[in-house]
Amino acid sequence: MPCTHGSTAPEPIIAALHESQAGQRDGVEIWRHKCCFCAFARGVELGRTQSTPLGGNAECRVTGRRAPIEAMDALPQSQAGAGRHQCAICAYHEGFNAARAQAVGH
């Protein structure tokens, strides 16, 4: 399913993300309303070129997953449709994991 920015992600993966779409920077929650479809697509891009995900200072307060602040800041805003209020950091990791699974399977 595509977002309004042209990125795609499997809807079941996006739907399974926990609600939050927030992360923390210096103890303050940010990154609400970032596009989870775009986050998934960026994770896929990274997973195609690297074998280990990048850490970073953007942290999901539910799972503890981390992503580069720059990657989260660069995501477009989205308040529509599937993925609304879900975690962009976790979507980023899910995209990375999907790409790595495809790389290992080939």
26-44, pLDDT tens digit by residue? 665 566 678 999 999 999 9
Domain range holding 23?
11-105
Asked whether residue 90 is assigned to any structural domain, the reply reads yes
Asked whether residue 67 is assigned to any structural domain, the reply reads yes
User: Which residues on adjacent β-strands are paired with residue 19?
Assistant: 86
Q: Please report the pLDDT score of residue 98 as a whole number.
A: 95
Q: Please report the pLDDT score of residue 24 as a whole number.
A: 56
What global pTM score does this model have? 0.84
The total of structural domains in the chain comes to: 1
Q: Which residues of the chain have pLDDT under 70?
A: 1, 21-32, 79-84, 105-106
**Is residue 47 within 8 Å of 100, Cβ to Cβ?**
yes
Asked whether residue 37 is assigned to any structural domain, the reply reads yes
**Is residue 88 within 8 Å of 22, Cβ to Cβ?**
no
Reference 71, options 26, 34, 32, 105; nearest CA is 34
Asked whether residue 97 is assigned to any structural domain, the reply reads yes
